[in-house]
Every structure is written in C-alpha cells, then in structure tokens.
Structure 1
Amino acid sequence: MFDHVKFGVSDYAASKAFFLKALEPLGVVAGAEGDPAYGIELCGANNASLCLFQTVDKPTPLHIAFVAATREQVNAFYRAALEAGGTSHGEPGLRPRYHANYYAAFVIGPDGHNLEAVCHAPVV
C-alpha cells in the first residue's frame, strides 16, 4: 500500500539486525544502504520499502503492518522477531473483530514500534 516509510531508530546496528531477521520470512531483504545517518532500505517483493536511519531524537512509536501471503508466514515472522529480540504484543491468531480471516501477530521492536504481520486470506 505504501511506496516507502522512513523512520529514525536509536541504535542503528541493533535495529537493522532486528528488522532484517524479523522480516526475512516475509521476503524482505536489504537494499541500498549508506552511512547510519542515511540508513538502509529494506525491500519487499511489491517494491515497497521500509527505511531506517540513526537519530538522536526519540522517535514516536509507530504501528506498521506487513503483508503476509500465508498464515505460516505470520507464524514465521513472529518466531523470527522474538528470536531477534522483539517482545510479544500478540501471538499469531485470528482477530475476528477486524474480519473473519484476519490472521495476525504483533511484536514490539527495539524502539517500541508495534510491528504486525497480517494475512487476510482464508484457510484453503
């Protein structure tokens, strides 16, 4: 849905490692990278990118939802994000208050950002 989102992080190396590991199950890979003040572009299959850069300003926590093609990708994202140092903010599962097939998992990243992987597809 977006072309790119860029936001500051307090520990560039830690955030870069966290996001690369947590988003790997969703097909996200490292793209262009400059010095930490410029940052890194993390690229997905749909040409959208998430860009991180080092800042001394305390960023306001964001909620970013990433598209997952399958429920297994949601599960893999959750496991990878926890292994990378994230904190659970909602285990993988259905969220019927959004809609009947809303399957998502939530983690809090290094700077307090609420990251979600969501699959809207029904079980086939």
Structure 2
Amino acid sequence: MVDHVAFVVTDLAASAALYERLLAPLGFEVLYRHTTAIAFGADGIDDFGLNEGTPGEQPTVAAHVAFVAETRDQVDAFHAAAVAAGLTDITPPSVRPEYSVRYYACFVRDLQGNNIEAVWHASTAQA
C-alpha cells in the first residue's frame, strides 16, 4: 500500500486553494502549511501533499490519484467542487462497471493536468 503521495506544482497558492476545496468534502483538512509545501489528510495523517517546484524542476503532470470517499454523496460533492472551480470534467459521478458494479467515481483534471478521482466502493451493486 502507498502511505502518501506528493505532487510538484508550479503555483502552490493556487493549487493549495484548489485542493482545499476539492478535498474538504472527503474529510481531508490542511495538516501543515509551509512556504513551499502543504499537506492534507484525514484523522491527522499526512496522506497527500503539494510541493512548489524549484527553478527548473518539472511539475507533476499526467499522474493519476484516487481519493477514497466514504459515501456516494461525497463523490458528488467532490465533483461539484471541481466543476465550480472550473476544472476539466473527465467523467461525472457514475457507476463504473468496467472496474466493479460497486465502484462509483468521478474524474477531473487539476491545474497541472493530473487525473484526480474521488471513488466510493459500495457494499452492494449500484444502479
């Protein structure tokens, strides 16, 4: 299992504001903020971070990360926050039977073009 993920970004302030908005419906909060980094997590555990790149350092692009939602409504709220923020909508919230009949998710692109997902795994098949 992966303990945490961090992306290098070109504009830390803009990316931090965006992820604060996206991750709030999933129960994530800002755990710490420095001049060049910010960490998000739930229950006080650092799960996801953003680091401002140094001159010449390439930002993280074309990556994919999926954040676990505890309910279907959290996936919907994540998606609504992303659309309100003007992010590119890859796939709106829906059951994804190609993965599992219990897989409910949405996909958006962040400011760097990364594929960001919110997913809820239901206990039974979803319609």
TM-score by structure 2 length? Answer: 0.88
The list of structure 1 runs, each at least 4 consecutive aligned residues, that deviate by more than 4 angstroms after superposition, is none
Secondary structure of residue in 1 paired with 2:14: helix
- Higher RCO, 1 vs 2 (CA within 8 Å, ≥6 residues apart): 1
Q: How many residues align?
A: 121
Residue type at the aligned position of 1:65: A
2:66 and 2:119 in contact (8 A); partners too = yes
CA distance in 1, matches of 2:43, 2:90: 26
Structure 2, unaligned runs of 5 or more: none
Counterpart Cα distance in 1 of 2:4 and 2:118:
17
Task: For 1:75-94, list aligned pairs within 5 A.
Answer: 75-94=76-95
User: TM-score when scaled to structure 1?
Assistant: 0.90
Cα distance in 2, alignment partners of residues 63 and 78 from structure 1: 16
Q: Is the 8 A contact 2:93 2:104 kept in 1?
A: yes
Q: Which residue of 1 aligns with 2:18?
A: 18
Kindly indicate whether the alpha-carbon contact (under 8 Å) linking 1:104 and 1:116 is maintained by their aligned counterparts in 2: yes
Distance, in Å, in 2 between the alignment partners of 1:100 and 1:68 is: 16
Task: Specify every segment of 5 or more residues in structure 1 that has no aligned partner in the other structure, as ranges.
Answer: none
Question: 1:19 offset after TM fit, Å?
Answer: 0.4
Quote the RMSD (CA, aligned, Å).
1.6
Q: Among all aligned residue pairs of Structure 1 and Structure 2, give the percentage whose two residues are the same amino acid.
A: 40
